[in-house]
Structure 1
């Protein structure tokens, strides 16, 4: 049995080097990039058994994506292959203050966006303790929206814990479109992770992070809401309030830090920050604490900010060492 299974599109990221702008560069760095696969990779590197399900074009670009994810120990046997469509890509210009990051998507009519829910091996999807999804997927196409609803239905039937990162992308859909689709989804979610500003953009919930988290829990009956606030840290609400401050980091690449936080939080909260050593059964309840999850999540996100690419390259020892240094007074 897998500990965590994820479902979503992974693209090729083409980024200009260092401080160069896209229109001036003669070189593009190629990386594999997808929120759901980022989480699967990060958790695999922490020691869990993870799987990633997607749909890719059977060509060298599709194989590049799968090979990179497989290299990190993620099971990719659930990936669907097709001769039609294309592998999605996006172009990234890494910003330096006061200039922000710039992203240009080229993912329309990708192989994943055309997926049919009937293609997926739902027995494979069901054979995991945790299902992790993001709000990117339902915004890609009506087919993808149907796919997510089917995944949630299967998860409910087999007793999976469902975790969901809102991950609102303004380049994919409008706040009004997102609010309608995500509102239907969130009622089936056990743990919601998001940035506070994303929630305010999509749902219009105003107030402090504590206010927004409380509103989300009440509106959608979510057990646990975790809100990221960048340099201000995180707040979690499960009926009680939990806070964790951010690390002071010299940022190399912001992209993927939210996914690293999600992976670290799930590892610390659901799995108590250690590999599973129990029978092939579902998780009746989290093995760790919310505070443990926040500590792992913030540490893994901080480490991700220090290197290039979407993927988190940190190990469990890296995270534990950083957490230990914080306990010794390093910020």
Structure 2
């Protein structure tokens, strides 16, 4: 059985070539993209066995998604196949400063949004060491909210650790709606990932990043917390200690998926009972992801170790 199980929706991503707007381009590149499957792929590429659960339409588009995820060594045996609904899409324009990235979702009525928690093989989930979930899933509707609650309940009953990335998407729900759903979840998880912006918007924290992290740890003393910085790098709260990992100079090509790469890198260290090392892996993996088109960082553990050679994580 896999060490890590992720649960969530994966879309087909249609991307305009760099330098082209969606209104302008005559070509769109087709990619497979989903926060939870990105993490599963990232872990698999780092040598951590992973499985991904979703609900997918059994048509060429759905099979394209599942086959691509399987190619990276992820166990897709618990995918729920259906003839109902559709595959979700999103369109991406890769901005360059001062022009921002632009995302257009076309995912309403997707097969995953209609998932029934009873369809999931929960025995499979209970045999993992950790499950990873994100705040994107409950934003997709009541079925998906129930799915997240059930997943946490099943994990806790089986002694499985729960990792949760806030991953707030303003195009999917409001800040108030996200708070109403996410706040009750935080008392039942083990590892929390959030950006400084999410810490402010969703958790209501203020101040510099270290102040935010200490306040979050005070509210949720049992959590391991990874706080990512907009300028790169991240902070870690682990067993009463703050660890700091600086970012890397970047020449970004595509930043989408960098947060998921950071999660995968961190969890690789966390599962080896070395969260500070995981922080170094995560920041390195996120930096490398910026250099690849698509949601996936096509690298392995040796690439991370090469990047962080002669680097170290400070602590205080």
Q: In the TM superposition, what is the alpha-carbon distance from 1:232 to its structure 2 partner? A: 4.4
d(CA) in 2 for partners of 1:320 and 1:110?
Answer: 39
Cα distance in 2 for residues equivalent to 1:245 and 1:17? 31
| 1:256 counterpart residue number | 257
- TM-score, normalized by length of structure 1? 0.92
Q: Does residue 307 of structure 1 match 2:308? A: no
Separation of aligned partners in 1, 2:242 and 2:310: 25
Specify the alignment match of 2:121 in structure 1. Answer: 121
8 Å Cα contact 1:230-1:246 kept in structure 2 = no
Q: What is the CA–CA distance in structure 1 between the aligned matches of 2:286 and 2:269, rounded to whole Å?
A: 13
Asked if structure 1 preserves the Cα contact closer than 8 Å seen for 2:4 and 2:131, the reply is yes
Question: d(CA) in 2 for partners of 1:101 and 1:222?
Answer: 36
What is the alpha-carbon root mean square deviation over aligned residues?
Answer: 1.2
Distance 2:184 2:228 in 1: 22
User: What is the alpha-carbon distance in structure 2 between the residues aligned to residue 231 and residue 246 of structure 1?
Assistant: 7
How big is the shift at 1:107?
A: 0.8
Report if aligned partners of 1:192, 1:222 keep a CA contact under 8 Å in 2: no
Q: Does 1:133 align with 2:133?
A: yes
Task: Report the Cα distance in structure 2 between the residues aligned to 1:218 and 1:139, rounded to whole angstroms.
Answer: 27
In structure 2, relative to structure 1, the CA distance for the partners of 1:210 and 1:158 (3 Å cut) is: same
State the shift of 1:124 in Å: 1.2
TM-score, length-normalised on structure 2? Answer: 0.96
Equivalent pair of 1:183/1:220 in contact (CA under 8 Å)? no
Q: Is the 8 A contact 1:55 1:81 kept in 2?
A: yes
Task: Please tell me whether the aligned partners of residues 186 and 222 of structure 1 are also in contact (alpha carbons under 8 angstroms).
Answer: no
Runs (4+) off by over 3 Å: none
**In the TM superposition, what is the alpha-carbon distance from 1:221 to its structure 2 partner?**
4.0
Indicate the residue corresponding to 1:280 in structure 2. Answer: none
Q: Answer yes or no: is the 8 Å Cα contact 2:232–2:248 preserved in 1.
A: no
Whether 1:318 aligns to 2:303 is: yes
Gaps of 5+ in 1: 272-286
Q: Residues 1-331 of structure 1 correspond to what in structure 2 (within 5 A)? A: 1-238=1-238, 239-271=240-272, 287-288=273-274, 290-324=275-309, 326=311
How far the C-alpha of 1:325 sits from its partner, in A, is: 5.6
205-214 or 47-56: bigger deviation: 205-214
